[in-house]
């Protein structure tokens, strides 16, 4: 069951997107934490940005889609549950980012850098127990050789147990896990959440958001049912074809047996 608007926290999709879209300074700070370096000004911060290259093909909706002054793209996603093959989702998201850039007139050699960042309220790789996992495309035979395709995927996991991140990142991930602010940055995030909770227009927008989600879920269920029916029709047709083929083979065998019997009878007749 969906939460009431006043119950939303920073890790809920709607609030996460609203806070980062309306507070670019907090969005930039979050990106700096994830990347471990300072960034310049952000040119655009878009929440729930849809990218549909072709109208009859599956698109993607990014939680937070950011571009900076160097034309670098950042996709930031909040993930509350470990499902839907997150690793494969990053692959799909990367492809859609690149296609979107190419649609805007970029050439392959001009594709800008991009980062896909997932903030997870669980540990994606429990056996390692890290808080942060960064992935580049490296050579298997010589990991010192980087492909150089200007892409990186980062997973920030709130339930890690290793001593692998800064105190500031620890405070942020503790805030994601427990909802309790404990430093300057997380208090600013919580202040933004409390400010959003009393925003009447955003409350109405949240209701529209829930309605749209329900429509999309119903469309997904309807699509699934139709795919199921289509698969059932295909299976039925295959079964019919197999039955027809078996019947045809049986009829051929009957005719061969009849011919053999006729031949045997003919040979048995006296001259």
Question: Which one of 173, 198, 223 terminates a domain?
Answer: 198
List pLDDT tens digits, range 243-260.
777 777 777 767 766 666
Q: Are residues 146 and 112 in the same domain?
A: yes
Q: Are residues 166 and 41 in the same domain?
A: yes
How many separate domains does the chain show?
A: 2
- pTM of the predicted structure, to 2 decimals: 0.75
What was the pLDDT predicted at 268?
57
Q: What is the CA radius of gyration of the chain?
A: 29
Q: Are residues 158 and 71 in the same domain?
A: yes
Q: What mean pLDDT value characterizes the chain? A: 84
Cβ atoms of 164 and 131 closer than 8 Å: yes
Question: Which one of 182, 198, 214 terminates a domain?
Answer: 198
> What is d(CA 154, CA 125) in angstroms, rounded to the nearest whole number?
12
Tokens of 44: 């655009």
Tokens of 214: 């329900």
Q: Are residues 207 and 152 in the same domain?
A: no
DSSP SS3 for 33: helix
List pLDDT tens digits, range 147-159.
999 999 999 999 9
* DSSP state, residue 111: P
> What is d(CA 42, CA 139) in angstroms, rounded to the nearest whole number?
32
> What is d(CA 200, CA 140) in angstroms, rounded to the nearest whole number?
53
Place of tokens 């299976």: 235
What was the pLDDT predicted at 175?
97
Question: Which one of 135, 169, 198 terminates a domain?
Answer: 198
Low-confidence ranges of the chain (pLDDT < 50): 55-56
Q: Are residues 264 and 148 in the same domain?
A: no
β-pairing, 114-120 vs 151-157, is: parallel
Q: Are residues 77 and 209 in the same domain?
A: no
Q: Are residues 36 and 156 in the same domain?
A: yes
> What is d(CA 3, CA 125) in angstroms, rounded to the nearest whole number?
29
Which residues, in sequence order, are CB contacts of 53 under 8 Å at separation 6+? 59, 96, 99, 100, 103
Q: Are residues 52 and 124 in the same domain?
A: yes
Q: Are residues 146 and 226 in the same domain?
A: no
Q: Are residues 249 and 151 in the same domain?
A: no
Range(s) of the domain holding residue 231: 199-271
Q: Are residues 150 and 228 in the same domain?
A: no
Q: Are residues 249 and 120 in the same domain?
A: no
DSSP SS3 for 66: strand
List pLDDT tens digits, range 182-228.
999 999 999 999 999 988 888 888 888 888 777 766 766 666 666 66
């Amino acid at each position: 069951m969906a939460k009431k608007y006043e119950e939303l926290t920073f890790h809920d999709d709607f609030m996460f997107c609203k806070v980062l879209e309306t507070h670019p300074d907090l969005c930039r700070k979050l990106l700096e934490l994830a990347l471990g370096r300072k960034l310049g000004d952000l040119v655009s911060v878009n929440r729930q940005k849809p990218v549909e290259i072709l109208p009859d093909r599956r698109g993607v909706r990014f939680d937070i889609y950011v571009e900076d002054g160097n034309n670098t793209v950042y996709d930031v996603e909040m993930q509350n549950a470990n499902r839907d093959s997150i690793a494969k989702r990053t692959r799909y998201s990367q492809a859609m980012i690149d296609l979107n850039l190419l649609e805007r007139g970029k050439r392959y050699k001009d594709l800008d850098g991009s980062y896909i960042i997932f903030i997870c309220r669980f540990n994606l790789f429990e056996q390692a127990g890290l808080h942060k996992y960064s992935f580049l495309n490296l050579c298997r035979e010589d990991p010192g050789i980087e492909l150089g395709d200007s892409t990186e995927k980062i997973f920030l996991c709130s339930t890690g147990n290793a001593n692998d991140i800064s105190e500031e990142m620890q405070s942020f991930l503790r805030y994601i896990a427990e909802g309790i602010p404990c430093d300057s940055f997380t208090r600013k995030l919580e202040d933004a959440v409390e400010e959003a909770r009393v925003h009447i227009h955003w409350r109405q927008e949240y209701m529209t958001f829930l309605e749209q989600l329900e429509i999309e879920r119903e469309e997904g269920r309807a699509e699934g049912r139709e795919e199921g029916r289509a698969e059932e029709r295909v299976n039925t047709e295959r079964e019919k074809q197999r039955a027809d083929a078996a019947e045809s083979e049986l009829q051929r065998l009957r005719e061969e047996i009849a011919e053999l019997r006729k031949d045997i009878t003919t040979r048995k007749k006296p001259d």
